[in-house]
Amino acid sequence: MMTPDAGSVLLPIARSAIARSWGMEVRAREDVPWLAEPGATFVTLRKHGALRGCIGSLEARRPLLVDVRANAVAAAFRDPRFPPVTPSEFDEVRIEVSLLSPLSRIDFFAGEDDAAARLQPCVDGVVLEYGTARGTFLPQVWEDLPDPASFLQQLKRKAGLPSSFWAPEVRLYRYSVFKWIETEAATTPILT
């Protein structure tokens, strides 16, 4: 079973996975039993407080260890919004790992205003789906978009829909997260 100090395990795993891509080594404990349990995570990278990459999984389909590693590498090198992270900036990048709860569908809302009223700011992560369009915002996004109506409008845009779009077929899901944030780089990478 995971403990409240799980960040002391998960954050070095994420940093180590990125460092390995350059042939560097960062020590990380990967022998903790709960890392074999299924887990869904998002790994967020920030440089001087600004978003530098964020990729994740919405559903627990692989072991937590594998999920954190894969999402760390994807956030560093495959987030289409940013160029790949370089070794020279790696010490300036701070890592955040968010562990997601299972998704819970929000049912029976009468329209967009009703849906927005059901959201819990600063608590809910939200997934919006319409046909093949899908987008999510972690609960942390409420810090930048505290108004539920604006939150939903921006989430629709992220899903590739117009911000003014709404249809009865829109599906919403909520989830919560445990999150851990590096305060400084855990260890200076060692060339191997």
* Six-digit token string for 56: 């994740």
Alpha helix segments (H runs only) across 6-104: 7-20, 64-77
| Residue whose entry in the numeric block shows the structure tokens 């440089």 | 47
| 28-69 pLDDT tens trace | 999 999 999 999 999 999 999 999 999 999 999 999 999 999
Sign (positive/negative) of CA torsion 111, 113, 119, 122? positive
Going by pLDDT thresholds of 50, 70 and 90, the confidence category of residue 113 is very high
Q: What is the pLDDT of residue 29?
A: 93
With a CB cutoff of 8 Å and minimum separation 6, the contacts of 154 are 137, 145, 163
Q: What is the pLDDT of residue 190?
A: 36
* Six-digit token string for 77: 């090198």
Is the pLDDT confidence value at 142 over 60? Answer: yes
- Judging by DSSP bridges, how do beta strands 41-47 and 50-56 pair with one another? antiparallel
Q: What is the pLDDT of residue 1?
A: 61
Residue span(s) of the chain under CATH 3.30.1490.150 come to: 104-175
CATH of 104-175, picked from 3.30.1490.150, 3.40.50.720, 3.20.20.30, 1.10.8.60, is 3.30.1490.150
| 116-128 pLDDT tens trace | 999 999 999 999 9
Residue span(s) of the chain under CATH 3.30.700.20 come to: 7-101+177-191
| 81-98 pLDDT tens trace | 999 999 999 999 999 999
Is the pLDDT confidence value at 182 over 70? Answer: yes
Q: What is the pLDDT of residue 30?
A: 94
| Residue (of 43, 41, 42, 39) closest to 62 by Cα position | 39
Average pLDDT in the chain? 93
CATH hierarchy code of domain 7-101+177-191: 3.30.700.20
Q: What is the pLDDT of residue 185?
A: 52
